[in-house]
Amino acid sequence: MSPPDRPDHQATNATGSSGVDDDIVEISAPSQKQKYTKADLPFPRGGNHCQIWAKNFRAALLSWAGSQDDPFGASGVMHGEILRIWERLYPDIKLDTGSKNMEIVVYVVRVNIYYHCERLLTVI
């Protein structure tokens, strides 16, 4: 008999034992971290949402980060500000904390800020 895919569905032998060592632990493959781009942002078709993102959203967030005591440490506390800016610029598009869409927005924001700061440092 072939080994079962899941330990909770193991076949038993005639003595009622599974014949599998109880110390075996199922190990899953590490998950690949998703990489998102501006194209993945939760915008409906049509409209000028991408232009608003490029012109206003990033600028508002960078302005906020620059006003923090530790602008380079602001990425750890920016979720609330991302949500406030989102609600102001995109009142018709709901973004819930902890949602997949919020994960996408935060990822794209971090990538944008990283590249913006990297570009500034190469100029200096």
Rounded Cα distance between 98 and 79, Å, is 10
104 in a domain, yes or no?
yes
Q: Give the residue from 95, 121, 91 showing the smallest Cα distance to 108.
A: 95
Return contacts of 48-55, CB within 8 angstroms, 24+ apart: 49/90, 49/93, 52/89, 52/90
Query: pLDDT: is 53 or 22 the higher one?
Result: 53
Residues 77-124 have pLDDT tens digits of: 788 889 999 999 999 999 988 889 999 998 888 887 766 665 555 655
> 116 lies in a domain?
yes
Q: Is residue 73 part of a domain?
A: yes
Looking at the domain assignment, is residue 28 inside a domain? no
In a domain, 115, yes or no: yes
pLDDT of 54: 87
* pLDDT tens, residue by residue, 41-58: 999 988 899 999 989 998
**Domain residue limits at 76:** 54-123
pTM: 0.62
How far apart are the C-alpha atoms of 42 and 102, rounded to whole Å? 9
What pLDDT does 87 receive? Answer: 95
CB atoms near residue 41 (< 10 Å): 20
Angle (CA) 39-78-68 rounded to 5° is: 130
In a domain, 48, yes or no: no
What's the confidence (pLDDT) of residue 70? Answer: 78
Write down the pLDDT at residue 92.
92
> In this predicted structure, what is the pLDDT of residue 83?
92
* pLDDT at residue 64, rounded to an integer: 86
pLDDT at 66 over 70: yes
Asked whether residue 83 is domain-assigned, the answer is yes
Count: domains in the chain: 1
**Any domain includes 14:** no
